[in-house]
Amino acid sequence: MNRLALQVSLIVVMTAGLMWSVWPLNKSLRLGKDLRGGVSLVYSVKMPANANSEAVLKQVIDVLKQRVNPTGVLDISFVPQGRDRIEVVMPLPGDEIRQKQVLFRQTLADLVKRSGIDSGELNQSLEAGNAADRFGGTDAAFKEKITKLQAAFHESQSARAALEAASKSGGDVSAAENTLAKADIALEAQMTGVATKGLNEARLLRVLALDKTPRPMRDAAGAIEFDENGNKKMGLSDRDRGLQSIRSEFPGSTKDFDATLAAFSDYESVRTSLDDPEDLKRLFRGAGVLDFRIALSNRIPEGVNPDQMRKELSERGPAGAQSSVAAWYPINDPKQWGETPAQVDALLRDPANYFANRDLIGASYDGKPYLLLSTTPEKTLTHSTGGRSWSMVQASRGSDELGRTSVSFRLDQNGGQEMGRLTGPNIGRAMAIVLDGQVYTAPNLQSRIGGSGQITGSVDEEEIKYLIRVLSAGALEGQLSAEPVSMSVLGPSLGSDNLQRGLLAVALSTLVLAVVKILYYLVAGGIADLSLIVNAFVIFGLMKFMDATFTLPGLAGVALSMAIAVDANVLIYERIREELMINKEPLKNAVRLGFQRAFAAIFDGNIANLIICTMLILFAGTEVKGFGVTMAVGVIATFITGLWVTRVFLSVWTNWLGQRNCPCWPSYFQALRARFCLRLIG
């Protein structure tokens, strides 16, 4: 294959790939609020004295992203504005998404309603004596309740039969009546505990929010297992573990469960944001609340029965555990609690045993590990302790006495006093660092901590960044305004209308350019139009791969980029025409010389455009910045298509098709003019 054929093949493959990746445009490209509808919330940030505003805004944005969109699956953007403001843009669900959301909510409501045990069916099973087999499922605790209910039912039936027998015999029935009354009371108590059994909607939603990435399977030694083809054996994800646990408790709801999961999967595939702006505002309230709590241990359980707390956790959830001195808190990232993947996998398999080896009390609920932490004032440092306000001032990289990397932090005056009160009596125990209700780490206290402290140990670079981010987030509370200072909403229907009109305007302007090019340059105009099509897909493809946001001004940038591409072709064609008409060069030489002479003008013009685009991107507002980004991408695409694609297509015209001229109207006009002048002279 010669060089020209290779270049043609490359252009065809590139164009086809770009077309496949960006079509349809309204679904493949990341659209701005003005093109798809959405809500814009602007929050103010209280800047500390002499603070680096850029660094503070970046820190606040990182914390908000971790709170609102930790997995990055939602299309929510955070943009710093000026020195002390942040704009948060979230798309609003369109009609398709809302329909799928409504369907999911309906199937979920049906599942919750039907997951409870029907009293009529329960009575029939109790009379038949098979209630435990029919409703017990694989949940041992609930099956035990059903078994006790069955026994209480039999005792009640026996007492009732004894009373009837005593009545028929004419004997004393008072003893039989007392026995029946006690049996009925016991039966009612057991019945209440079973009849209230039902799926908790919040629990299922919490499980559906877990990570759905499958985890590799490991052997008893902790090594990853591989199949015969050398591929990793994948096990259940965190979400699947939780769903499996719920399924086992409700074996009679399999059909409704499958329908709900199918509806959720359908909804999740198109969901790009939260369901309502109020959900976003609620998540921002209280973001960055940092607490310190002493972790309970098997050695010092603080009067708590760990096994009873685990039982209450499995039956009632974290909020249902009954204790006045302790509560369950979820682990934020299990990967931070193990030095090797095998340790992380061991933690996920059996948190109770894993944490017991660290003298901590752990448990699992719906596939997520939990730690038992103190809630008493003397064992905690929270923002409600004694009513005194305190804050984390700074967290940074440091080093310990041995020169090992550590994480240093500093509290304000009140915080230092409260930290000393907490840590002094608890040296040698684990102190959990809790951010927004989740446990991030629990280092052991080596000494009393005052206004500043260090977290030491064999931590790697990722763990250092992780801890600094967590502790820095503690300085966020009070910095972000409680409510947005401004809020603007553009409905999805209006955004869709803007998109349709914008694309129509771009298409019409490009079509007019294409027609004018063909009318003026004939065959060369057709070649330029082919280059223009490639140029359009290069622009959209680059925008997609950059994950850049398309705005309404950005569509104007696309249209202007098309005009710039046409301008580049005009420069090239005029140089080629001069070589043909004035210097009488053959077409092949004219094409080569035309591109050489036009290059400087095209290059200078594109550099000037890129400088302007760079200024717009760096200093303009969000909407104008979108125009600058699109224009910059258009300039790059124009440079590629104008100097390479157009030349390849002209080479096909001259080399493959063997053409020796490239007719255009200016050439005809010049020939007619020369002929007319000769006739006048003659």
Angle at 407 between CA 401 and CA 413, to 5 degrees: 95
pLDDT tops 60 at residue 681: no
Q: Is residue 270 part of a domain?
A: no
Mean pLDDT of 396-419: 77
Same domain, 630 and 521: yes
Mean pLDDT of 462-485: 68
Q: Domain span at residue 19?
A: 3-25+491-681
Same domain, 402 and 519: no
Mean pLDDT of 226-233: 76
Same domain, 653 and 628: yes
Q: 665 or 542: whose pLDDT is higher?
A: 542
Q: What does the pLDDT read at residue 285?
A: 67
| Residue (of 328, 283, 278, 291) closest to 473 by Cα position | 291
Q: 492 or 398: whose pLDDT is higher?
A: 398
Same domain, 178 and 83: no
Q: Is residue 184 part of a domain?
A: yes
Q: 676 or 542: whose pLDDT is higher?
A: 542
Cβ proximity of 374 and 302 under 8 Å:
yes
Q: What does the pLDDT read at residue 672?
A: 43
Handedness of CA 42, 46, 49, 55 (dihedral sign): negative
Same domain, 83 and 182: no
Q: Is residue 206 part of a domain?
A: no
Same domain, 164 and 51: no
pLDDT tops 70 at residue 492: no
Q: What does the pLDDT read at residue 473?
A: 63
pLDDT tops 50 at residue 677: no
Q: What is the pLDDT of residues 325-346, one digit of tens each?
A: 888 999 888 877 877 777 787 8
For the ranges 2-6, 23-27, 214-218, 557-561, which has the lowest average pLDDT? 23-27
- Strand 549-550 and strand 30-31: the pairing is parallel
**Backbone dihedral angles phi then psi of residue 295, each to the nearest 5 degrees:** -85, 135
Mean pLDDT of 192-219: 71
Among 473, 504, 535, give the residue marking a domain's end: 473
Q: What does the pLDDT read at residue 371?
A: 92
Tally of domains within the chain: 4
Same domain, 187 and 62: no
Same domain, 129 and 48: no
With 0-12 / 13-18 / 19 or more C-beta atoms within 10 angstroms meaning exposed / middle / buried, residue 43 is: buried
3-state SS assignment for residue 536: helix
Mean pLDDT of 676-681: 40
Q: At 430, list the tokens.
A: 């684990």
Q: 173 or 627: whose pLDDT is higher?
A: 627
Same domain, 38 and 21: no
Cβ atoms < 10 Å from Cβ of 117: 20
Q: Is residue 107 part of a domain?
A: no
- Measured between alpha carbons, how far is 644 from 152 in angstroms, rounded to an integer? 87
Among 179, 197, 215, give the residue marking a domain's end: 197
Cβ proximity of 86 and 112 under 8 Å:
no
- Specify the DSSP class assigned to residue 223: P
Q: Is residue 158 part of a domain?
A: yes
Same domain, 324 and 418: yes
Among 408, 440, 473, give the residue marking a domain's end: 473
Q: Is residue 57 part of a domain?
A: yes
Q: At 151, list the tokens.
A: 């026994």
Q: 473 or 562: whose pLDDT is higher?
A: 562
Q: 397 or 86: whose pLDDT is higher?
A: 86
DSSP line for 281-328: HHHHTTTT-EEEEEBP-SS--TT--HHHHHHHHHHH-GGG---SSEEE
Same domain, 130 and 10: no
| pLDDT bracket for residue 453 (50, 70, 90) | confident
Q: Is residue 225 part of a domain?
A: no
Task: Tell me the whole-structure pTM to 2 decimals.
Answer: 0.55
- Measured between alpha carbons, how far is 277 from 566 in angstroms, rounded to an integer? 43
Same domain, 385 and 402: yes
- Measured between alpha carbons, how far is 634 from 542 in angstroms, rounded to an integer? 9
Q: 621 or 392: whose pLDDT is higher?
A: 392
Mean pLDDT of 652-668: 64
pLDDT tops 80 at residue 292: yes
Q: Is residue 255 part of a domain?
A: no
Cβ proximity of 78 and 88 under 8 Å:
yes
Q: What does the pLDDT read at residue 1?
A: 47
pLDDT tops 60 at residue 578: yes
| pLDDT bracket for residue 53 (50, 70, 90) | confident
